[in-house]
Amino acid sequence: MLVLGPTQVETLLDLDELIDTLASAMADLSAGRASAPDRVAALVPEREGLLGAMPGYVPSAGALMSKLVSLFPGNAGTPLPTHQALIVVFDPETGEPVGLLDGTAITTERTAACSALSARLLAREDASVLAVLGTGVQARSHARAMCRVRPIRQIRVAGRNPAKAAALAEDLSSVLDAEVRAVPTYAEALDGADIAAAATHATDPVVRRPWLTPGVHITSVGFNPKGREIDDATVADALVCVESRRTALAPFPTGSNDLVEPIRDGVVTAGHVHTELGELVSGDKPGRTSPEQITLYKSVGVAVQDAAAAALVLAAARDRGTGEEITLR
């Protein structure tokens, strides 16, 4: 069994290849070819944390794996990330364990790559202004990923901590060919933005309808059992896209408060969730219908994303002779 640590995973995972591979994985999921049971979790209430388990099989990627991921929001502001994970990869022909991978880097990259896929499918072709809401690892990865699918020329970063927003803006300026600056409020970041990438632990919405410009594409990956990133009015006015309707509308710890609560309160119906990413990839559902339409991709994370990414990493590691081989028996 091949063991790969976080630095190796980051080096081996090609972002452009990942975006393309995720398109096939999401099509598999929507067509019923992939298997991805709803996430289950053991709760750690005294820390407001959880440990989730996410098995998945993706035939187009030849990938079978299970991820264990912890979410501990209290780690924000410490050296430890809020999300930490391990992935065990199995041979889909025999069931033999063949890889043990750091899953933290894979979770970061696959989440941003799938948001970028949603932008490739739903954002206007000329989208050039990006609002990044949040200052953590997901905010950074989303900025990088969005620049792969649209001609981003200006990035505005906003977060709860102005110093962290400034630091992220400086970091992104050094690696991206775009004008990047920190702004003091979420509203200012969103004003005139063509794409908005929300990656926060917000308890109150950081995306509000009055702050949005017509035609904006919003991606929302934040997960807080007690909060929301998107307000009701934005959900109601947007064309809504998800990874899986069943998953997005499921109860905690699987689904999204950003969708479950407006449906519960009668703001929209479940039918308002227009499409899945895989249906857009396959052409089974239409996407954007006008330049002024607001589109929203709400992500809760599904195992097929991890499986597709893990398969890419493992294949690249074997090609390059990277990693440590261990024997369990």
**Is it the case that residue 329 has pLDDT exceeding 80?**
no
State how many domains the chain has: 2
The amino acid at 10 = E
Rounded Cα distance, 30 and 234, in Å: 25
| pLDDT digits 0-9 by tens, 257-289 | 999 999 999 999 999 999 999 999 999 999 999
| 66 within domain boundaries | yes
Q: Looking at residues 141-169, what average pLDDT do you find?
A: 98
| 113 within domain boundaries | no
Confidence grade of residue 253 (pLDDT, cut at 50, 70, 90): confident
- What are residue 228's DSSP bridge partners? none
* Helical residues (DSSP H) of 213-272, grouped into ranges: 232-237, 245-248, 257-264
| 74 within domain boundaries | yes
CATH of the domain at 31: 3.30.1780.10
Which pLDDT does position 164 carry in this prediction? 96
Confidence grade of residue 252 (pLDDT, cut at 50, 70, 90): confident
100 & 182 share domain = no
Which pLDDT does position 313 carry in this prediction? 98
**Is it the case that residue 21 has pLDDT exceeding 90?**
yes
Give me the chain's average pLDDT, please. 96
| 114 within domain boundaries | no
Confidence grade of residue 131 (pLDDT, cut at 50, 70, 90): very high
270 & 185 share domain = yes
* Cβ pair 31, 327 in contact under 8 A: no
Which pLDDT does position 73 carry in this prediction? 85
| Closest C-alpha among 186, 160, 157 to residue 169 | 157
Q: Looking at residues 186-195, what average pLDDT do you find?
A: 98
293 & 205 share domain = yes
Tokens of 266: 């009668």
197 & 284 share domain = yes
160 & 201 share domain = yes
| 129 within domain boundaries | yes
Rounded Cα distance, 169 and 230, in Å: 23
279 & 247 share domain = yes
295 & 319 share domain = no
**Is it the case that residue 205 has pLDDT exceeding 80?**
yes
| 119 within domain boundaries | no
Rounded Cα distance, 266 and 236, in Å: 10
- Full domain range(s) for residue 172: 124-301
Element (DSSP H or E) covering residue 261: helix 257-264
Which pLDDT does position 138 carry in this prediction? 95
273 & 310 share domain = no
Which pLDDT does position 237 carry in this prediction? 98
